[in-house]
Structure 1
Amino acid sequence: MFGVVRPCRHGMCGSLFKDWMAHLCGLCLTLRTEHGQAARMVTNYDGLLVSVLVEAQSADRSPRRKAGPCALRGLRAAEVVDARAEGARLAAAVSLLLAAGKIRDHVADRDGVYARRLVAAAAGRVADRWDAAGGRTSAATGFDPAVLRDVVDRQSALESAPGRSLLELTAPTEDAVAAAFAHTAVLAGKPHNAETLAEAGRYFGRIAHLIDAVEDLAEDRATGAYNPLLATGVDLDEARRHCDAALHGLRLAVADLDLESRRLIKALLDREMRRSVHHVFAEAANGPGPYPPGPQPPHPHQPDSRPPHRRPPRPGLPALCLAWTVVGCTCGLWQPDWSEHHGGDCGDRCWCSRHCDCCDCCDCCDCCSCDC
């Protein structure tokens, strides 16, 4: 699973985390129902936001059902969004198309194991299958898959042209997310939300692109791979300012939406996005304290001074293939120690769990959507 919005139970009120898990498990099971067991590997944290947006605008468009035990839930049953829900189906299509595009991008850049001819060929075939499956599902929901398919081509064209600004390089991602967010208004029967959702999507896409660039900055600098920050000469301070401006715009756009229920949307697109930005810049800065340049999260408690968690390097191809197999068979419950989703307890990754405990003991108001 990949994405920038990765909440945990320590950073959310219980009911909100339960609702988020209902969408996450619903997306995973929708992928299995419509595209087979292997498709569950593309479950995307950010892709499921479209399912959340549909339900937030119109709860009756997002039916739920009881699901059986799953390893990812500690072998417990749970209420999940049904595969019949249009939001879950759109989320599945987005996840498949994004995964296909990500694989093709790795193949084109000859990243890591993708530089090997046999691996690249096999990955290309997988990407083709996922792309075709995502296209079928997106067409069934009325969403044009070309918007997401064109992202890689547009991105490659921009990266090959010199003199582009940072915001020009983030534009393809912004447009793709804007289109997906706006389509949730159609599925929810609230077309008047489309323009505001498109604006929110552009801000979200900009932040996601910048976070990805900051996360890869050290590795790309070492290997000589393309990175938009290196290509444009933008430093971490300026990148953080772009993220902070986009966070502000995203918050205003969410506030303008006509929603039946906004608690989960506000928690994910406001608090969790701010936390993600803070976390990735803190690791990139690698200074004596956890706060990078830019506005600090307002909180009265002393920040944790533990150094960022360091992951060991990835292994060779045989061990990598075995690890992927185990991750898929356990629905992501097990993660290798070099994975970005592995490492320490939740407190090593969650700012809230180290600085306040209100979200761990209440199941009530909007405390997890503000600076509790």
Structure 2
Amino acid sequence: MFGIIRPCRHRLSENLRTEWMAHLCGLCLALRGDHGQFARIATNYDGLVISVLVEAQAGRSDSWRRTAGPCPLRGMRTASVAQGEGARLAATVSLVLASAKVRDHVEDGDGALARRPVAAAARRVAARWDRAGARSGADIGFDTAVLLDAVGRQAGVESAAGIGTSLLTITEPTETATAAAFGHTAILAGRPENQAPLEEAGRLFGRLAHLLDAVEDLVEDAETGAWNPIAATGADLAEVRRLCDDAVHGVRLALRDTKFASKGSGKLAHVLLAHELPRAVDRAFGTTGCAHTTDATHSGSGAPEFEMLGPEGSQGAPPPQSPWINPPGGPGGAPPEPPNRGRRRGLIAGCAVWSGLFCTCQVCCKDPYHDPWTGEPREGLCHKCDDCSDCCDCCDCCNCCNCCDGCDCCDGCDCGCDCGC
């Protein structure tokens, strides 16, 4: 699971959280339906923006949703998930770009991919995903050749780069690919007048994703000797930050020129692209942090007031869960009874209880769950938040008015301010 848009639960209203999860699950299930179970590992947070944009322009109807069966990542609950051409386009784009990421790791010899047999198998998977993406793209009128061409040009652009090369030269293939994906959402939604502004938004989104990935990997790449565009060009981080801030502003302006189906249909798209992108930049550059502590995130009942919708960080983090839909007593039924305080379980008994907690996703989703050996309350993995800021900052682009109500700032905002709320 990867992506730069990782909203924190306290910044989304309940309706928007439900919508966000519907598109994420819809993307995952579209990957499975079109490309098989293994393809679900290409699910990413940024890909669901494609599905969100299609639905926001076309207008939601009953045909855009279906009820999905129980899933461990939803606490074994059913859920209403997105379906249709938007979800399929998101799946196609995610699969093709994931194949590019696999090839990039193979070229860099990252981890196990430094071994020839593993690298050869990864190349075969990437080639299969390219072909599968091309087939599903053709079904919805999207030519993935532009994505594959951009991926193919990236290696040559990087090899030709050196000190003094513009970062925008290096990000151009990524910009081209994301512009095509964003622009096609207008075609699928029957809004050809939106194609130009959405292509611009996509181009800047691709630039931002490429640069933020380089910023987050800069230290690690220096330690491992991997190629990094910032180090290779000798770019100053202040200049990189300026490019990122300009891209965020450009995306916001492009959204203002995009016509959605109704006044409320573009809320989630606006929150993700106008509000969360600046926070992604702050997170990558380390200029913001979580202002919530364990004590501050719980009400008197002991229930958490917010959870991360995204992972703990950009690398090595667990996949997203949906902790807010856990039933009382834990997903999938009642949890194993915690041991009495002061009594510890033995190794074997503790392992057996831990297996039950893990298989029912309580280690990830429940907050708190009880330690299988000591019985002490523990925080579920997906409840750890490292990128959310004070609740009062959630309306940071709506300072021109007082119509935003707490943390639900874009779930009823009618201010007409520059940010498009």
TM-score for both structures, normalised by structure 1: 0.80
1:193 and 1:371 map into 2 onto residues whose CA distance is 16
Secondary structure of 1:127's counterpart equals: helix
Q: 1:145 to 1:162 in 2, by over 3 A?
A: same
1:352 shift after superposition: 4.7
Q: Is the 8 A contact 1:182 1:194 kept in 2?
A: yes
Secondary structure of 1:351's counterpart equals: coil
Q: Describe how 1:342-361 pairs up with structure 2 within 5 A.
A: 345-352=383-390
Which 10-residue stretch deviates more, 357-366 or 165-174? 357-366
1:221 shift after superposition: 1.1
1:143 and 1:312 map into 2 onto residues whose CA distance is 30
Q: Is the 8 A contact 1:100 1:128 kept in 2?
A: yes
1:101 and 1:313 map into 2 onto residues whose CA distance is 19
Q: Deviations over 1:239-260 (max 9, x none)?
A: 1110001111110000110112
Q: 1:353 to 1:72 in 2, by over 3 A?
A: farther
- The question of 1:205 aligning with 2:206 is answered yes
2:409 and 2:156 map into 1 onto residues whose CA distance is 49
> Residue in 2 aligned with 1:63?
64
> Residue in 2 aligned with 1:243?
244
TM-score for both structures, normalised by structure 2: 0.71
Secondary structure of 2:258's counterpart equals: coil
1:350 shift after superposition: 2.1
Letter in 2 for 1:86: E
Secondary structure of 2:412's counterpart equals: coil
2:219 and 2:99 map into 1 onto residues whose CA distance is 25
1:158 shift after superposition: 0.8
Secondary structure of 2:67's counterpart equals: strand
Q: Is the 8 A contact 1:11 1:353 kept in 2?
A: yes
Q: Deviations over 1:278-307 (max 9, x none)?
A: 11110xxxxxxx449xxxxxxxxx96799x
2:51 and 2:118 map into 1 onto residues whose CA distance is 33
> Residue in 2 aligned with 1:33?
33
Q: Is the 8 A contact 1:347 1:353 kept in 2?
A: no
Q: Is the 8 A contact 2:23 2:51 kept in 1?
A: yes
> Residue in 1 aligned with 2:285?
281
> Residue in 2 aligned with 1:254?
255
Q: Deviations over 1:143-197 (max 9, x none)?
A: 1111111223211111111443101111111110000000111100011110111
- The question of 1:76 aligning with 2:123 is answered no
Q: 1:8 to 1:187 in 2, by over 3 A?
A: same
1:263 shift after superposition: 0.7
Structure 1 unaligned runs (5+)? Answer: 283-289, 293-301, 315-328, 336-341
Letter in 2 for 1:13: S
Q: Is the 8 A contact 2:270 2:420 kept in 1?
A: no
Q: Is the 8 A contact 1:10 1:359 kept in 2?
A: no
- Structure number having the greater helix percentage: 1
Q: Is the 8 A contact 2:134 2:144 kept in 1?
A: yes
2:260 and 2:2 map into 1 onto residues whose CA distance is 27
1:360 shift after superposition: 5.8
- The question of 1:119 aligning with 2:118 is answered yes
Secondary structure of 1:65's counterpart equals: strand
Q: Is the 8 A contact 1:10 1:352 kept in 2?
A: no
Secondary structure of 1:68's counterpart equals: strand
> Residue in 2 aligned with 1:298?
none
Q: 1:228 to 1:311 in 2, by over 3 A?
A: closer
Q: 1:354 to 1:119 in 2, by over 3 A?
A: farther
Q: Is the 8 A contact 1:12 1:359 kept in 2?
A: no
> Residue in 2 aligned with 1:146?
145
1:173 and 1:349 map into 2 onto residues whose CA distance is 25
1:346 shift after superposition: 3.8
1:208 and 1:312 map into 2 onto residues whose CA distance is 14
Q: Is the 8 A contact 1:48 1:88 kept in 2?
A: yes
Q: Deviations over 1:64-114 (max 9, x none)?
A: 1112222212222211112xx111111111111011111011111212221
Secondary structure of 1:348's counterpart equals: coil
1:121 and 1:215 map into 2 onto residues whose CA distance is 28
Q: Is the 8 A contact 1:170 1:209 kept in 2?
A: yes
Q: 1:59 to 1:330 in 2, by over 3 A?
A: farther
Letter in 2 for 1:35: H
Q: Describe how 1:177-256 pairs up with structure 2 within 5 A.
A: 177-256=178-257
2:392 and 2:127 map into 1 onto residues whose CA distance is 43
1:215 shift after superposition: 0.8
Q: 1:359 to 1:24 in 2, by over 3 A?
A: farther
Q: Deviations over 1:201-258 (max 9, x none)?
A: 1110111000100011001111221111011111221111100011111100001101
Higher-Rg structure is 2
2:360 and 2:196 map into 1 onto residues whose CA distance is 40
Letter in 2 for 1:103: V
Q: Is the 8 A contact 1:23 1:52 kept in 2?
A: yes
Q: Is the 8 A contact 1:147 1:176 kept in 2?
A: yes
2:281 and 2:213 map into 1 onto residues whose CA distance is 10
Q: Is the 8 A contact 2:8 2:385 kept in 1?
A: no
Q: Deviations over 1:131-150 (max 9, x none)?
A: 21111111111111111112
Equivalenced residues, count: 330
Q: 1:151 to 1:330 in 2, by over 3 A?
A: farther
1:366 shift after superposition: 3.6
1:359 shift after superposition: 5.9
1:280 and 1:144 map into 2 onto residues whose CA distance is 32
Q: 1:330 to 1:162 in 2, by over 3 A?
A: farther
2:255 and 2:21 map into 1 onto residues whose CA distance is 21
1:359 and 1:346 map into 2 onto residues whose CA distance is 22
> Residue in 2 aligned with 1:365?
412
Aligned CA RMSD, in angstroms, stands at 3.3
Q: 1:305 to 1:10 in 2, by over 3 A?
A: closer
